[in-house]
Chain A
Amino acid sequence: MFNKKRSIDDLLTEWRFDEELKQNILHWHTLEARAAKYASFPEELHPSIKKALEARGIKQLYTHQRQAFDYAINGNSFTAVTPTASGKSLCYHLPVLQKILEDKSSRAIYLFPTKALAQDQKSDINELIEEMGEEILSYTYDGDTAPAIRQKIRKAGHIVMTNPDMLHSGILPHHTKWVSLFENLKYIVIDELHTYKGVFGSHVSHVIRRLKRICAFYGSDPIFICTSATIKNPKELAEKLTNTHHQLIADSGAPVGKKTFLFYNPPIVHPTFGVRRSSVLEVRDLATRLYEAGIQSIVFAKSRVRVEMLVTYLKSLTKNKIQDESIRGYRGGYLPTERRKIEKGLRDGTIQIVVSTNALELGVDIGQLQACIMTGYPGNIASAWQQAGRAGRRQDSALIIYVANSTALDQYVVNHPTYLLGSSPEEALVNPENILILMDHLKCAAFELPFSITDTYGEFEVQELLEFLQDEGVLVKTSATWYWMNERFPAHEISLRSAAQENVVIIDQTIPAGTKVIGEMDTYSAMTLLHEEAIYLHQGTQFQVEILDWEEKKAYVREVDVDYFTDANLAVELKILNEDKSDVYNSATVSYGDISILAIPTIFKKIRFQTHENIGSGKIHIPPLEMHTNATWMSFNLPENWSEEMLTDALTGAAYAVGSFIPLYIQCDRSDLSVVPQVKSTHNDKPTLFIYDSYPGGIGLAERVYDIIGPILKETIGHVRNCPCKDGCPSCIGAQDSLNESKEKVIKVLSILLNEIG
C-alpha cells in the first residue's frame, strides 16, 4: 500500500470508494479536455523565427498568438488574457524578435513583477534566439546583475528584462546611461499584468508614466504588450496602468487537459458553534496521501506562517531518511539562491511536494506538477486559476483540491462551485490618483527631467503640485521651467512594494560569531509577526524574536524548538478628515472620504501546534502606526429597544460578514480592506460601519465599495441566513462566545441598511 506509485486517474477511482474522504468532498467536478485552435504563420514572419519554431515542433500558431502578432505589427498596443501554459510568451517574443530582425537598432523592455520571473524568461528567449542562429542580445538587469556587464547591457542589449523596482530606482533616474535603449525603444512588454493592482499597481502606473515621459524626451513612442491571467477588467487595467489605448485578446487558442476539481470541506467538530477541523490539518492529511501515491504536488497556503506550519508537519514524513529534500517550502523572504535551488529541484523531480505562498502562482517555470492543493480560497478567482494551472501543464490529467477554511468567503466558495468554475472574475484596481503615490513619483519625474511651466504629467495637470514642491524646497523655478534642486535621490526613498516605506531586516544570531540576514518583511506585517517573543518560521525552522530594534528596523532572532506559534492583535482608532461623497436616506447615510487610522499593536497569543489551544499571551511594545486613507462609511439609527451591548455584538458580526464578502466583487486580499464598527461614531453619534483601504492614501477599493454597497449587503445577508450553524460561526458572522441570537441581530442590522439604500 505504501509508496506505490499511482496515476491521478487511479487515485481518483480509489477515492470514490473511500468513505472517510467522500463525506468531506462536497463537489466533484471535471472539466473536459479542450482541443487547440490554430492559425497559420504570418506571411511576413522572419525565416529565422520560422526555423526556430519549427525546430521546436511548432508548425502553426495558436489563434491568440497570431492575433497578437498582427496587432503589434500594425502598431497597436494590446492586452492578451492567457491561461497558464497557453504559450503566452510567444505573444510578445514573436513581434519583438521580428522587429529586431528587421532593424537591429530596435530595443525592447520586458517587465516582470519579480526577479525570478525575469530569470526564467531569459533562459526561454535565449534558447529561442539560439535556435534562430541570430545575434540578438537579451539580458536581465536587476540587483543581481554583475557590475562588469551592466555597461554592455545599457549600450547593446536588444531586450532588457527587469522589474518595476529596478526601473524605478536603477534605470529611470540614470536614463542618460541608457540613451541607445530609450532612443530605439519599440516595445514595452508587461507580463503578469493582473499582479499590478493595489498599492503596488498604483506605484507601477506612475513608473510607467515616468518611463513614457523619458521615451518622449528621446523621441521614441513604444507599443505596449501586456499579458494577464483572467480578471474582469484586463483592458481597463492595462489602459489605466499604461495611460495608453489597448486592444484586447480574450480568447485563447491553446488546448486544455482534463482537470478534476474537488471541493473539500473539513468536518464539523463542534456543531453548536459551527467549528470545523483546521484546514491545515486536513491539507496535511491530503498531501500525505498524494506523497504516498508518488504524485508530484504543490500545496498553496495563504500566509508565510501557514506555509511553515505545513512544511513542519509534512517533513515528519521524511524524518527517517537522511538528506531527504523531497519536501520543501517556498515563499517570499527566502534568499534568491535558496529559491533557485528549489525551482530546480521541482523541475528535475528531486522535490516531490512543495508548499508555497502565492510566490509560485506567477509563471516561474517549475515544470509539470500533477496535483495542486489550495489551503483556503486564495482571495480571488484569478489567483485560484493560476494556482490550479500549476497542476497538469501540457495536457495531462490534473487534480485540484480546494480545501475550505472556516471563513465566510471560503465557505461561500466551497458551497457554490459555480462561483469559482463559471462566474465572472473580480476587477483589479489601480489608483494613479492616490495623491501620496502621485506626489512621490512627481518628485522622481522632476528629478529625471525638468518640467516646463506648460508641461503635464501623464493625464494630470500638475503645475500647482510643482509649486508645492518648490515651497518644500526641492524644486527651483526659472522663467519657463521647474528644476530639481536638492541633494536627495527621491527614488531611494520610495518603495513600490509597500505602503509603509521601510522593511524590517531579520537577523539570525543563533551563532554569535556567524550572525546573518535570513530575510526581510514590510513594517506593517512586522508589527504582528516580528514583535519580541514572536515565533518566526523560516524553512520549517522556528526562530524566536529576541530583540526588535524598531528604530533601526532590525529583528534579531534565535533558533528555538517549541511546540507553539504566535498570533498577534491590532487595535484601531479612526476619525473622519474629509467627506467627498454622501447619499442621505431617511434614517441612514452612506459616505465616502478621507479618514485617519491609528493602528496599535496590543497583545499576542501563544497557540499550540496540532490542538491549536491558547497557552499564553503577552503585550506587544511597538509604537502605533498612523495612516491616512480612503473609507466608505454607513451610519444608521439605533433600532428601538436595543441596548448598546446588543448593538456592539451585532455590529461586530456585521463587520465580519461584510468584510468577508467584498473580495467577491473586487480583486483584493481580505486584508487590503478593513471593516471597523463604531457603536457611537465620533462624528455623528450614530452606529457606523467603516470600510477602509488598508494602505496610506487609499488604492480605490473603498471608493468602489461605495458604488456597489447594495449588492454586497444583499449577498452578505443571504449567506448569513443560509449558513448551517445555529447562532453564528467563523463562516458567517465570526466565532461567538455565547448564544444570544447574534445571527438574527446581524441580519436585522444589515437589513435596516439594505432597506434604506436598496
Chain B
Amino acid sequence: MSYENKMLQLKQKLGKKKEQPKETPSFRKPEKPFYLKDWESAGLTVMENELGVLFKREVTYPLDYQHGSYRLGLLYDAIGKWGNTAFEHPYAMDFDESIVFFDTETTGLKGVGTNIFLLGLLEALEDRFVLTQYVLADPANEAAFLFESKFWQHARTVVTYNGKSFDWPQLETRWTLNQHVLPKLRSQKQIDLLHSSKRIWKNNLERMKLTKVEEEKLGFSRQGDIPGFLAPIIYMDAIKSGNADALMKVLYHNEWDLLSLVTLYIHSTNLLLEHELDESATTYTNIGKWYGDLKHAQQSEQVLTSVTTNFDDDNTGLAHYYLALQQKRDGSYNEAAESFEKALLFIGKREKLKALEQLAIVYEHRFKNYEKALNYTKQGLNLTKSNQFMKKEQTDKLYDKWLKRLTRIEMKLIRR
C-alpha cells in the first residue's frame, strides 16, 4: 500500500481533542527498560540514581599502556614540555588541570531530535588512565544518564575531536531539555584536536577523519572496527530488540577514539614544540604559519627558517612566502623581498599573486627600483588575466588595481 493510501486510512482515525490541558506533573522516575539483564550479559553494568537507570562500562589502563606508537603515560611528558615554554598557547595544559578526553556517539547529526546515547570519558589520573562509558538505557532515562557525566560538578579540561562544534553543543541541547531536573551544566575549558590537526596537516592529509590520522601519524590501525555512521542504527536496534551485542562494538569504537586522542595530543605537542623534522616540509610550514597567526613571531620564524634551510627548494616555497610576510611585518624589507623572490617559483597562483603584489609595492615605495617594480607588476597583470580561481567581478577589480599601478610606475619612470 502506498504511503498516501495509508494516510487516507489513518485519516479516519484522526480525532479532535476533548478536554482541556492537564497540569504538568512533577518528576516521576521513568520505568526500567525490559532488557537490563540482556545488556548486562553483553558486558555492561547497570547503574541507578534518583533520576533513573543507565549502563556503564569501565576500563583501567596503566601509564605504560601502548597505543600505536606511544605509551599513554607520555601525556605527562607532553604537559611538562608545555610547562617549559615561555609563550601562551591554546593547546597548552598544566599538571593542576583535571583532564578528561571526551567523545560521544549520537543518533543523528543535529537538532533537538538527536540523542546522545554514549558518553565516553577517558580520565588521566596520576598513576593510570580510566575509561568510563555511560550508555543511555532508553530516551526516558536520559536525565540519569546525563547526571552521571558529572559535567555539572567539577571544572575539567575537556579534550575532544570536533567537540567544540559537535559533541559539546549536543550535550548542551540535551541538558537544556532536562533542565527541570538536572543541576546547571558548567562551562568547561575545551581543547579541540580536530582544529589543531587541520592546522598542522593541511595539504598533507587529505581527510581529517580520526581513523586516517591514526593510521598515517599515530601508528595505529583498527581491527574489526565498525564505521561510525552505523552507530545510530545499531543503538536504535539495541533498544528495540533488547540485544546489545552489536552495541558493544560501538563502545569499542568509542574507546579507540578516546585512546587515540591521548596519543594525538602527545604527537601534536611534539610536532609543535620539538622540531625534529620527522614529518614533511608542508607540516612544519603549517606549524610555522600557525605560530604566525597566533602572533608568536619568534617561534614562527624559527620553524619556517628550519624548513627553508633543511628542505629542497621545491618544498619550501610556502615557507619562504610565510617567512616573507613575517619579515615584512617586522620591517625587514630586504629580507622580505629576498624571501618573496625565492618563493615565487614554488607557490600556488593565489599566493603568487599576493607575493607579486608585495614585491611590486616594496620595490616601488621602499627601494624606488621602478624597473623591478614594473617587471613584477607586469607579471601580476598577466597572472590576474589568466587566473581561473577568482570570480569575474573579483578578477576585474583586481585587474583594474594592477593597471593603475602599472600606469603610475610608468609615469614615475618617464619622470625620471
What is the interface of chain A, defined by CB distance below 8 A to chain B? 173-177, 179, 433, 435-436, 438-439, 446-450, 454, 456, 458-462, 464-465, 468, 476, 478-481, 483-491, 514, 577-578, 594, 628, 696-697
* Nearest CB in chain A to that of B16: its residue: A459
Contacts A176-B176, A176-B177, A436-B7: A480 and B31 contacting too (C-beta < 8 A)?
yes
Q: Is B232 an interface residue (CB 8 A)?
A: yes
* Nearest CB in chain B to that of A219: its residue: B24
Question: Does the CB pair A487–B14 fall under 8 Å?
Answer: no
Question: Does the CB pair B6–A468 fall under 8 Å?
Answer: yes
Question: Does the CB pair A435–B8 fall under 8 Å?
Answer: yes
Question: Does the CB pair B140–A483 fall under 8 Å?
Answer: yes
Q: Kindly specify which of B87-95, B103-111, B401-409 makes contact with the partner chain.
A: B103-111
Set of chain A residues within 8 Å of B11, measured between Cβ atoms: 435
Set of chain A residues within 8 Å of B31, measured between Cβ atoms: 478-480
Q: How far is the CB of B228 from chain A (nearest CB, A)?
A: 12
Contact partner, A489, options B113, B138, B240, Cβ 8 Å: B113
Q: How far is the CA of A173 from the CA of B4 in the complex (A)?
A: 25
Query: Which one of A174, A487, A578, A697 has the highest number of Cβ atoms from chain B below 10 Å of its Cβ?
Result: A487
Q: How far is the CB of A176 from chain B (nearest CB, A)?
A: 4
Contacts A456-B17, A489-B108: A476 and B8 contacting too (C-beta < 8 A)?
no
Contacts A436-B4, A481-B140: A176 and B10 contacting too (C-beta < 8 A)?
no
* Nearest CB in chain A to that of B239: its residue: A476
Q: Give chain B interface residues in 1-45, CB to chain A under 8 Å.
A: 4-8, 10-11, 13-18, 21-22, 30-31, 33
Set of chain B residues within 8 Å of A436, measured between Cβ atoms: 4, 7
Question: Does the CB pair B10–A435 fall under 8 Å?
Answer: yes
Contacts A478-B30, A483-B139: A460 and B17 contacting too (C-beta < 8 A)?
yes
* Nearest CB in chain B to that of A447: its residue: B113
Binary contact readout B108-131 vs A (1 if CB under 8 angstroms, 0 otherwise): 111111010000000000000000
Q: Which 8 A-B pairs have the closest CB atoms?
A: A447-B113, A461-B15, A483-B139, A176-B176, A478-B140, A479-B31, A484-B113, A435-B11
Question: Does the CB pair B111–A438 fall under 8 Å?
Answer: no
Set of chain A residues within 8 Å of B216, measured between Cβ atoms: none
Set of chain B residues within 8 Å of A480, measured between Cβ atoms: 30-31, 140
Query: Which one of B6, B13, B107, B113 has the highest number of Cβ atoms from chain A below 10 Å of its Cβ?
Result: B113
Set of chain B residues within 8 Å of A484, measured between Cβ atoms: 113
Q: How far is the CB of A27 from chain B (nearest CB, A)?
A: 47
Question: Does the CB pair A459–B17 fall under 8 Å?
Answer: yes
Contacts A476-B138, A514-B392: A439 and B108 contacting too (C-beta < 8 A)?
no
Number of A-B residue pairs having CB atoms within 8 Å of each other in the complex: 118
Set of chain B residues within 8 Å of A697, measured between Cβ atoms: 7
Q: How far is the CA of A210 from the CA of B202 in the complex (A)?
A: 44
Q: Is B172 an interface residue (CB 8 A)?
A: yes
Question: Does the CB pair B113–A478 fall under 8 Å?
Answer: no
* Nearest CB in chain B to that of A593: its residue: B8
Question: Does the CB pair A487–B172 fall under 8 Å?
Answer: no
Q: How far is the CA of A456 from the CA of B16 in the complex (A)?
A: 9
Binary contact readout B219-235 vs A (1 if CB under 8 angstroms, 0 otherwise): 00000000000001100
Set of chain A residues within 8 Å of B107, measured between Cβ atoms: 485-487
Set of chain B residues within 8 Å of A577, measured between Cβ atoms: 5, 8
Contacts A456-B17, A464-B13: A176 and B30 contacting too (C-beta < 8 A)?
no
Q: How far is the CB of A437 from chain B (nearest CB, A)?
A: 10
Set of chain A residues within 8 Å of B177, measured between Cβ atoms: 176, 449
Q: How far is the CA of A486 from the CA of B239 in the complex (A)?
A: 12
Question: Does the CB pair B112–A448 fall under 8 Å?
Answer: yes
Question: Does the CB pair B4–A696 fall under 8 Å?
Answer: yes
* Nearest CB in chain B to that of A479: its residue: B31
Q: Is B277 an interface residue (CB 8 A)?
A: no
Contact partner, B109, options A449, A487, A628, Cβ 8 Å: A487
Question: Does the CB pair A488–B108 fall under 8 Å?
Answer: yes
Q: How far is the CA of A462 from the CA of B172 in the complex (A)?
A: 30
**6 residue pairs A–B, Cβ–Cβ below 8 Å:** A448-B112, A449-B177, A459-B17, A478-B140, A484-B113, A487-B232
Q: How far is the CB of B241 from chain A (nearest CB, A)?
A: 11
Question: Does the CB pair B173–A489 fall under 8 Å?
Answer: no
Q: Is B236 an interface residue (CB 8 A)?
A: yes
Question: Does the CB pair B139–A450 fall under 8 Å?
Answer: yes
Contact partner, A465, options B4, B14, B138, B236, Cβ 8 Å: B14
Question: Does the CB pair A486–B236 fall under 8 Å?
Answer: yes
User: Number of contact residues on B: which range applies?
Assistant: 35 or more
Question: Does the CB pair A454–B22 fall under 8 Å?
Answer: yes
Q: A435-B7, A514-B392, A697-B7 are in contact. List 11 more A-B contacts (CB 8 A).
A: A177-B173, A449-B112, A450-B139, A461-B18, A468-B10, A478-B33, A478-B139, A486-B107, A487-B108, A577-B5, A628-B7
Question: Does the CB pair B139–A481 fall under 8 Å?
Answer: yes
Set of chain B residues within 8 Å of A468, measured between Cβ atoms: 6, 10
Question: Does the CB pair A447–B8 fall under 8 Å?
Answer: no
Q: How far is the CA of A577 from the CA of B239 in the complex (A)?
A: 38
Set of chain B residues within 8 Å of A465, measured between Cβ atoms: 10, 13-14
Set of chain B residues within 8 Å of A491, measured between Cβ atoms: 111
Set of chain A residues within 8 Å of B240, measured between Cβ atoms: 476
Q: How far is the CA of A696 from the CA of B7 in the complex (A)?
A: 12
Query: Which one of B11, B177, B239 has the highest number of Cβ atoms from chain A below 10 Å of its Cβ?
Result: B11
Q: How far is the CB of A736 from chain B (nearest CB, A)?
A: 38
Set of chain B residues within 8 Å of A459, measured between Cβ atoms: 16-17
Contacts A480-B30, A487-B108: A594 and B8 contacting too (C-beta < 8 A)?
yes
Q: How far is the CB of B141 from chain A (nearest CB, A)?
A: 8
Question: Does the CB pair B10–A464 fall under 8 Å?
Answer: yes
Set of chain B residues within 8 Å of A594, measured between Cβ atoms: 8
Question: Does the CB pair A438–B4 fall under 8 Å?
Answer: no
Question: Does the CB pair A173–B112 fall under 8 Å?
Answer: yes
Q: How far is the CA of A179 from the CA of B177 in the complex (A)?
A: 10
Contacts A480-B31, A485-B139: A447 and B111 contacting too (C-beta < 8 A)?
yes
Query: Which one of A173, A476, A594 has the highest number of Cβ atoms from chain B below 10 Å of its Cβ?
Result: A476
Set of chain B residues within 8 Å of A460, measured between Cβ atoms: 14-17
Contacts A436-B4, A478-B138, A486-B236: A446 and B13 contacting too (C-beta < 8 A)?
no
Question: Does the CB pair A435–B239 fall under 8 Å?
Answer: no
Q: How far is the CB of B353 from chain A (nearest CB, A)?
A: 19
Question: Does the CB pair B8–A578 fall under 8 Å?
Answer: yes
Question: Does the CB pair B8–A628 fall under 8 Å?
Answer: yes
Q: How far is the CA of A479 from the CA of B141 in the complex (A)?
A: 11
Set of chain A residues within 8 Å of B8, measured between Cβ atoms: 435, 577-578, 594, 628
Q: How far is the CB of A46 from chain B (nearest CB, A)?
A: 33
Question: Does the CB pair A461–B4 fall under 8 Å?
Answer: no
Q: How far is the CB of B11 from chain A (nearest CB, A)?
A: 4
Set of chain B residues within 8 Å of A446, measured between Cβ atoms: 113
Set of chain A residues within 8 Å of B30, measured between Cβ atoms: 478-480
* Nearest CB in chain A to that of B142: its residue: A483
Set of chain A residues within 8 Å of B233, measured between Cβ atoms: 487
Contacts A468-B6, A476-B239, A476-B240: A433 and B14 contacting too (C-beta < 8 A)?
yes
Q: How far is the CA of A594 from the CA of B12 in the complex (A)?
A: 12
Q: How far is the CA of A483 from the CA of B17 in the complex (A)?
A: 21
Set of chain A residues within 8 Å of B113, measured between Cβ atoms: 173, 446-448, 484, 486, 489-490
Q: How far is the CB of A558 from chain B (nearest CB, A)?
A: 18
Q: How far is the CA of A460 from the CA of B15 in the complex (A)?
A: 6
Q: How far is the CA of A462 from the CA of B8 in the complex (A)?
A: 15
Contacts A176-B173, A435-B10: A489 and B17 contacting too (C-beta < 8 A)?
no
Q: How far is the CA of A357 from the CA of B31 in the complex (A)?
A: 58
Set of chain B residues within 8 Å of A438, measured between Cβ atoms: 14
Q: How far is the CA of A54 from the CA of B4 in the complex (A)?
A: 58
Set of chain A residues within 8 Å of B112, measured between Cβ atoms: 173-176, 447-449
Q: How far is the CB of B146 from chain A (nearest CB, A)?
A: 13
Q: How far is the CA of A325 from the CA of B113 in the complex (A)?
A: 50
Q: How far is the CB of A60 from chain B (nearest CB, A)?
A: 41
* Nearest CB in chain B to that of A485: its residue: B236
Set of chain A residues within 8 Å of B108, measured between Cβ atoms: 486-489
Contact partner, B111, options A450, A462, A483, A489, Cβ 8 Å: A489
